[in-house]
C-alpha cells in the first residue's frame, strides 16, 4: 500500500540543518513540541548499527524514572502502570478525559511505537491508535511483517487533551515517567516515533521532522527511528512514500538488533 502511494521524500539531514530546495521534506504541521528543550547530543552507534550504513542522529534520555517519580519507578508490570495511570492526578487532563490510555500490546515487544496523545476514539475506548489513523498504523506494521500483537503501542500523553489541543509542558512532564517506565519494562530493541511531537519530545529537540528522518537516533540507548504520524498521512498522500522508507529502516534496525543479540548469546 505504502509502496504505491505518495511521492518520493527526502532523506534526513544533519541535526540543526535546514531542509531547503526542491528535495526538502514537507513539514508536518499537526502540533509543535511543548516548550523549547535543549538539543540532544550526537549519537554514537554500536558496531552492528554502523554496519547498516545509516547516519547517526541524536542521543537523548539522560533522566531515569527513579529521579522523576520513585513511586512509578518501582511499578513491577505494565498492568500496575496502567492502574497507576488511571489514578494519576499529576495534571488536569484526567478531569476532562473519559478514559486513560496507557498503551497496549506485547509486554516483551522488540518494537515500540510512540505517538503524541490519545484522540477522540482512543479516549472513548481507552486504547491507543484505534481510529482511522490507528487502522492505517496497523497496515503500516503489516507491511513490515509485524502485527499489533507483536509490538507495544503508546503515546507521550496518557490522557486526551480537550479538543485535541496541543499538549502542554506540564502534561508532558507529568506523563514522562510513565513512558520511561514502559520502556524499562518492555525493553524494546527499536522505537518508532510517530509524528513531529513525539519525535521532538523524545529527542529533546526542535529540529523539523524532515531533518530527523533517515537517521538512527538513540533514546535511553534504544535505536529510535522518526516518521510521520498516521493522521498526517491521511491528510497528505505525499508523506506515504517517505513513511514506507522510514518503516523499512526501522525493520532493518530491528533485524540487525536481533541478529546482534543472537550472536552475543542473548535472547
At 135-169, the pLDDT tens digits run 999 999 999 999 999 999 999 999 999 988 889 99
Name the band, by pLDDT with cuts 50, 70 and 90, for residue 29: very low
Q: Is the pLDDT of residue 6 over 50?
A: no
Taking 90 as the threshold, does the pLDDT of residue 10 lie above it?
no
Return d(Cα 38, Cα 35) in angstroms, integer.
10
Torsion angle of alpha carbons 210, 170, 160, 183, nearest 10°? 70
Output the pTM of the full model: 0.84
All structural domains of the chain: 41-263 (3.40.470.10)
Residues in the chain: 267
Strand partners, 72: none
Q: Is 204 helix (H, G, I), strand (E, B) or coil?
A: coil
pLDDT above 70 covers a percentage of the chain that reads 82
Residue 165: the pLDDT is: 87
CA separation (Å) from 235 to 133, 228, 247?
Answer: 10, 11, 19
Q: How far apart are CA 175 and CA 154, in angstroms?
A: 11
Q: 16 pLDDT exceeds 60?
A: no
Q: Say if residues 259 and 48 touch (Cβ distance below 8 Å).
A: yes
- Which grid coordinates are listed for 167? 499538549
- Rounded to 10 degrees, the C-alpha dihedral 40/72/187/54 comes to -10
Question: Distance between CA atoms of 142 and 132, rounded to whole angstroms?
Answer: 16
**46-81 confidence digits (pLDDT tens):** 889 999 999 999 999 888 899 999 999 999 999 999
Amino acid at each position: 500500500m505504502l509502496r504505491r502511494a505518495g511521492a518520493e521524500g527526502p532523506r534526513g539531514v544533519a541535526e540543526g540543518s535546514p531542509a531547503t530546495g526542491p528535495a526538502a521534506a514537507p513539514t508536518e504541521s499537526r502540533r509543535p513540541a511543548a516548550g523549547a528543550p535543549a538539543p540532544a547530543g550526537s549519537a554514537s552507534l554500536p558496531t552492528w548499527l554502523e554496519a547498516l550504513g545509516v547516519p547517526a542522529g541524536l542521543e537523548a534520555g539522560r533522566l531515569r524514572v527513579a529521579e522523576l517519580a520513585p513511586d512509578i519507578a518501582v511499578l513491577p508490570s505494565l498492568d500496575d502502570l496502567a492502574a497507576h495511570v488511571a489514578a494519576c492526578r499529576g495534571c488536569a487532563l484526567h478531569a476532562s478525559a473519559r478514559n486513560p490510555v496507557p498503551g497496549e500490546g506485547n509486554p516483551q515487544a522488540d518494537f515500540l511505537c510512540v505517538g503524541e496523545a490519545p484522540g477522540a476514539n482512543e479516549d472513548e475506548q481507552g486504547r491507543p491508535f484505534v481510529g482511522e489513523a490507528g487502522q492505517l498504523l496497523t497496515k503500516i506494521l503489516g507491511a513490515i511483517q509485524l502485527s499489533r500483537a507483536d509490538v507495544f503501542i503508546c503515546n507521550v500523553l496518557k490522557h486526551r487533551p480537550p479538543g485535541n489541543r496541543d499538549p502542554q509542558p506540564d502534561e508532558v512532564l507529568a506523563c514522562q515517567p510513565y513512558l520511561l517506565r514502559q520502556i524499562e519494562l518492555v525493553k524494546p530493541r527499536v522505537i518508532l516515533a510517530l509524528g513531529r511531537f513525539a519525535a521532538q519530545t523524545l529527542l529533546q529537540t526542535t529540529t523539523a521532522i524532515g531533518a530527523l528522518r533517515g537517521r538512527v537516533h538513540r533514546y535511553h540507548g534504544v535505536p529510535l527511528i522518526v516518521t510521520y504520524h498516521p493522521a498526517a498521512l491521511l491528510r497528505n498522500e505525499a508523506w506515504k512514500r517517505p513513511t514506507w522508507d522510514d518503516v523499512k529502516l526501522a525493520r532493518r534496525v530491528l533485524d540487525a538488533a536481533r541478529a546482534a543479540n543472537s550472536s552475543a548469546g542473548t535472547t
